Amino acid sequence: MDYIPKIRFEADKNLLYMDEIPISLHCHYFNCGLINAIEAIDYFDGIDVYIKEAAKCFYEYFKKILIVDNKLLTIDKALVRAQDIYRFMGYGRIDLSRLVTGEGIAISDSSYFVVGWLAIYGKRDKPVCHLTRGFIKAVLAVIFDKDIEDFDVVETQCMISNAECCEFKVSCA
């Protein structure tokens, strides 16, 4: 890992900060249970809301760590830093190197969401890495100075259903 975030904990307030941004960590039971509950809602697209909200949170964070001295890191360095953050936060490993144009394929060969889902619910046919979709949208929105909604990220393969890796197809409007 090239980038190690600065972690600070305020014990008296029970607050955890990563690069001076407050964060909250939850176990796989919470996160997978949340996804399961959202997917069960049939009167609106809860997963779309989940992805958008994840993207908004990551967007604010990436604006602070991908822009140094009012200048964006090079695209390659920004993508590597984002990969490091993904890994550091415990989400697994992700390869964003094929997204240097803002479109292409991202690959994850290790997913916290897959491991968590398998431990609780077992295999399934539908992809489960929804937060990763928001993560990718946010990274690219900051790097290419676009709106989060300009990026469409679809998980085309997921290890939850025996694929070798999770694959995310990214396109830009």
Cα-Cα-Cα-Cα dihedral sign, residues 93, 159, 154, 169: positive
Residue 2 within a domain: no
Which secondary structure element, helix H or strand E, spans residue 78, and what is its range? Answer: helix 75-88
Residue 13 within a domain: no
Per-residue tokens: 64? 């602070």
- How many structural domains comprise the chain? 1
Question: Residue 99 sits in a domain of what CATH number?
Answer: 3.30.1380
User: Which residue range forms the structural domain that includes residue 83?
Assistant: 27-172
**pLDDT for residue 23 is more than 80:** no
Residue 101 within a domain: yes
**Average pLDDT value for residue range 147-168:** 97
Residue 63 within a domain: yes
Q: What are phi and psi of 158, to 5 degrees?
A: -145, 140
Give the amino acid at 72: L
Report how far residue 62's alpha carbon sits from residue 55's, in angstroms, rounded to the nearest whole number. 10
Q: What does each C-alpha distance from 67 to 20, 144, 145 come to in angstroms?
A: 15, 12, 11
Tell me what pLDDT residue 22 has: 82
Residue 41 within a domain: yes
**Average pLDDT value for residue range 151-170:** 97
Residue 74 within a domain: yes
pLDDT digits (tens, 9 = 90+) for 77-111: 999 999 999 998 889 999 999 999 999 999 999 99
**pLDDT for residue 167 is more than 80:** yes
pLDDT digits (tens, 9 = 90+) for 35-94: 999 999 989 899 999 999 999 999 999 998 998 888 999 999 999 999 999 998 889 999
